[in-house]
Structure 1
C-alpha cells in the first residue's frame, strides 16, 4: 500500500501531528501532498471547545483570573510524550479557574474557529459542557451561551466558517444535572444550538442514566449525539445510545467492532460515526508496532460503517484538522477514495441546513479531485482500504 514519492518526502510532524507512533503501513508524503490535507474542504463534527484553547490564551486567562496554576502546570497540560495522557484534568482546570466570564468563552470560541478555518474547516459543530460552567464558574447558561454565540458570529463574519454549538451532558455529574442542562437549552433556544451530546469519562456514566434528558431534548426538536464505545467500554453502550436513546450519530463508537452483526446493521442504516484517529486510549493501549494495523477504525471501515475523522481536542492532542485527515491516509492505510467518501459523509451527517449541504455537495467533490491532482498522488493512492 506504499505510494511512490519524490525525494522531498517528509514525515507527519511537518503537518502538526504529535505523539503518534510510526505505522508499519506508513506512507511518506511530499510537501505538496501535506498541503492537500490542509486545503481539503471539510466539516468538523467532533471537537470539544475546551480542548481547542491555545497555550498563550490559557496562560493569559490564568493570569487574568489569578488561577492557582504554575507555569509548570500549564506547560505540563500542553506536553505530549511518546505515550499520550488524558486531557480531562486540563478541561476541568479550565472550567474551575479560567472560563469565568462570557468574554472568556467568546475569545476561545473565536480562536478555535479561526484555527479551524485556517485548516479548511468550512463548518464546525463543537461541544461545550454547560454543567461545569454553571456549577464551578457560577456563570448562568444564558450568559455563557451569549459569549459563545458572539464568538461564532464574529468568526463567520471574519473567516467565512459556519458553526453550530452542541451543549453536552456531563456524565460525571448526577443525572438530575443533565435534565437541568437540557431544560436550560430548551428555555434559551437559538438556531446555532442544534442539539445535545454527552461527554467526559464513559466508565463513570453509562448512557442509560441520561435517557430522560435525551428524551426531553428530542421532544423539543433538538438533534442528538453521544460519546459511546470510547475508553474500551463495551459495545453495548453503543447499542444503548443508538437503539434505546435514538441518537442521530455516534462519537467514537470503536467497540462496536466486537459485535460485527450489529455493526453491519448500523452500516446498512447509514449511521454516522465521528471517529478520532488520535484517540489516546488506543494509542496508549495498543502496541506501538501494531497500533495502526489493529486500530478499530480500520475494522469499522471493513465492516462498512460510515465514518468521518475529527480532531477531538486539537491543541491538547497536538493535531490540526489537516493532521487528523492525513493520519487516516499516511498511517492507517485509507485511500483517497475513502477520504473522498468521508468528506461526503461529513456533509451528510452535519446538522447544517439542507440548502447549505446541497451547495457543499455540488462543489466539494470537484474541489477534492482538483486538489488531489495538483498534489501528484500516484494512482495507487486512490485504492480503498477495503480493496486490501
Structure 2
C-alpha cells in the first residue's frame, strides 16, 4: 500500500507512532499501579491502599507524593528482582509509545542505604532488564545514576565512586534529582568533577520549583553538565538564555510538571508556562514524561500537550524530536542514521494528517 492510500491519522495517533527518545524519566516514577500494590504486599503492607491510590491521583497540587515515593526505597523495594521488574515494565510501556531509546534516572543512594541492596547487585538487575527489554521490545535503555540532592554532598561522591567501580556500557552518566529547594547545584561540584574525570556524561535538575535562574548557570558553568533537566527559570534572564541557545544546550522539559504548573491559576497555567517562551529565546527543548505513572501521562500525551496546551505546530515538534536525538548520549554514527530515518518517518506520518491542522497556526509562544 502506498503512502497516499494509507488511512488518515488523528494527531494523537500520529504522535504515538512517531519515533521518540526519552531523556528525562525517573525509574521510581514509572511504577505501574498494580506493581506498586504487589511490592507493598511483598513487604508486608506497610502502606495503606489509600496511600498507594493517592500516588496515582493528580489534583491541583500533589499531596504526600514524595513521602510515598521515598517509601519505595525505605519499605517496598527489597530485592534486585524488584528493580528488574520495575525497569522491564517501564521499558515495555515506553516502547508501546514508540520510544526507541530511553535514558532514565535511578537513585542509588536510596537503594543502597534505604533498601539495603548492594550497588553492584542493584545495577546488575537494572542492566539485565535493559538488555532483556532490547531483545523483547526493541528499545535501547541507558541508566543515569542520579544524586539524591536531599542527601549530603559526601553521599553524592560515594555514589559516583560506586558507578566508577562498576562501569558498564548501559550506565552512561549521572544526574541529580529530588527537590531543588535549599539544595543548590554547587553543593555537588566535587561529585560532578569526579564523574567528568571518569568520562561519564552529566545532566542536572536546575531551575525547577521556582528556583533562581542562577541555578541553571551554575549547573552549566560550574558543574559543566551536558544538558539541563527542566530549566524553566532561565527565561527570567533572557541574556543568559540566549547564551545557552548559542551553546546548543538541550533542555529536557516536562509539560506536566513544574513549580509554575502547580501555582498558576488553572485558566492561565498553559498560557503563562515558561515552556511556551523557551523556543522564542532560541533554547533547544525536548518534551519528556518525568514520572509517567505518577503524572498520569504517557510519552504520546506529553507530545500532544506541546500542541494542545502550548500551541506548538508540527514543524516545532519535528525540531523537538531532533533536539532529543542531539541531546541523547548515543554514538554519533547512530545519531546521524536516526536523524535521517526519523525525519522521514515523521514526514510520512505527518502527510497522513487531515489538512488543515489547527496546530499549524503560529504557536502561542510568540505572544508577548
TM-score, normalized by the shorter chain, greater than 0.5: yes
Work out whether residues 336 and 384 of structure 1, in 8 Å CA contact, stay in contact via their aligned partners in 2.
no
Q: TM-score, normalised by structure 1?
A: 0.90
Aligned residue runs from structure 1 range 164-313, under 5 A: 164-313=142-291
**Among 121, 124, 137, which residue is 1:159 paired with?**
137
Work out whether residues 67 and 97 of structure 1, in 8 Å CA contact, stay in contact via their aligned partners in 2.
no
Compute the displacement of 1:377 (Å): 4.4
Other-structure match for 2:5: none
Compute the displacement of 1:289 (Å): 1.2
Work out whether residues 277 and 309 of structure 1, in 8 Å CA contact, stay in contact via their aligned partners in 2.
yes
Q: Are 1:117 and 2:117 counterparts?
A: no
Q: Aligned partners of 2:65 and 2:47: how far apart in 1?
A: 16
Other-structure match for 2:3: none
1:175-234: CA deviations, max 9, x gaps?
100000000000000011100000001014211000000000000100000000000000
Q: Are 1:64 and 2:38 counterparts?
A: no
Work out whether residues 311 and 359 of structure 2, in 8 Å CA contact, stay in contact via their aligned partners in 1.
no
1:3-46: CA deviations, max 9, x gaps?
xxxxxxxxxxxxxxxxxxxxxxxxxxx97221111111110000
Unmatched tracts of structure 2, length 5 or more: 1-7
Provide closer, same or farther for how the CA distance between residues 334 and 371 of structure 1 changes in structure 2, counting only shifts above 3 A. Answer: same
1:62-112: CA deviations, max 9, x gaps?
111214111111111111124444732232011111212111000000000
Q: Aligned partners of 2:292 and 2:89: how far apart in 1?
A: 12
**Among 340, 356, 368, which residue is 1:378 paired with?**
356
Other-structure match for 1:338: 316
Other-structure match for 1:143: 121
Other-structure match for 2:12: 34
Other-structure match for 1:11: none
Q: TM-score, normalised by structure 2?
A: 0.95
How many residue pairs match? The answer is 359
Work out whether residues 254 and 290 of structure 2, in 8 Å CA contact, stay in contact via their aligned partners in 1.
yes
SS at match of 1:224: strand
Q: Are 1:44 and 2:22 counterparts?
A: yes
Q: Which structure is higher in RCO with an 8 Å CA cutoff and minimum separation 6?
A: 1
Other-structure match for 1:328: 306
Work out whether residues 83 and 283 of structure 1, in 8 Å CA contact, stay in contact via their aligned partners in 2.
no
Unmatched tracts of structure 1, length 5 or more: 1-29
Q: Aligned partners of 2:305 and 2:120: how far apart in 1?
A: 38
Aligned residue runs from structure 1 range 56-95, under 5 A: 56-85=34-63, 87-95=65-73
Q: Aligned partners of 1:280 and 1:295: how far apart in 2?
A: 9
Q: Aligned partners of 2:64 and 2:243: how far apart in 1?
A: 32
SS at match of 2:210: coil
1:139-188: CA deviations, max 9, x gaps?
11100001101111111000000011000000000110000000000000
Q: Aligned partners of 2:125 and 2:182: how far apart in 1?
A: 30
